[in-house]
Amino acid sequence: MANPQVGFIGLGIMGRPQCHNLIKAGFPLIVWNRSQPGIDTVVGYGALPGRSPADVAAKSDVTITMVTDSPDVREVVLGPNGVIEGARPGSVVIDMSTISPAVTREIAEALRARDVQMLDAPVSGGEVGAIAGTLSIMVGGEEEVFNRCRSVLEAMGKNIVHIGPNGAGQTVKLCNQVAAVLNILGMCEALILAARSGVDPEKMLQAVTAGAAGSWMLSNLAPRILKSDFAPGFMIRLQQKDLRLALEAASEMNLPLPGTALMNQLFRAVEAEGGGDLGTQAAIKALEKLAAFRVGE
């Protein structure tokens, strides 16, 4: 697809820098958001404002959605003045939110009935990756449609993998979140074990991160815990949404995910004390309370 007109719906923390990168890559862009500040910011980058999701889709070859949860995607795509009401036959909808694989398949089927194709393309890499244009993107949908849209995705990410049919991208994103939170648990338990034993946690990290137990969480989040820095790279309440989706998908298959369920409960303990907007490294607070011992400064 040569230089398609791109529409973008959802101009939050992730959407704004994604739009900036699309514009820098030369794609003409029309945007819509539920609140005006996001629109104003991205229009400042060079985008045009749309009147509604339907209006954005009517003027776009590729329409991207980047919103919070399954109901939000269903609303902006299938609801009143939604994408489905404006999307032209032969166009493509790319949902980059993290939502239910089952809802993804439902939306894809509704669009297909209007001769509109869909890719589910959730991302990993957070705001830093969105700004740098280095997001990992896991894509579900027809391979031919994926190939047509590759240049659009490459403007926003680096590690772009076609996984399988619609829903497969969302399933792999949930796998990513499961692996991420269990790495957080390992990191937190290692820190509290070191600190409670009287070992310098910084020296423990220096030794462990260079070996087989090393992880992104140990290298990036553990030092923030030691400084009592709980500012979010990714908020607990958003991680909880993703864990809910993973546990729901597992429940549909009668599949046990005991570690994921445990992390859901530990995060819930932090939320219960008002920590839902803290970064996921604040999981340490739940372990600290159980141990009656504090790791950080």
So which residues are the catalytic ones? 173
DSSP secondary structure, 151-176, as one string: HHHHTTEEEEEEEESTTHHHHHHHHH
Provide the 3-class DSSP secondary structure of residue 274: coil
Cβ-Cβ contacts under 8 Å for 68 (sequence gap 6 or more): 12, 97, 238, 241
Residue 47 burial (10 A CB sphere; 0-12, 13-18, 19+): buried
Task: Report whether 61 contacts 1 (CB < 8 A).
Answer: yes
With contact defined as beta carbons under 8 Å apart, do 260 and 181 qualify? yes
DSSP 47: P
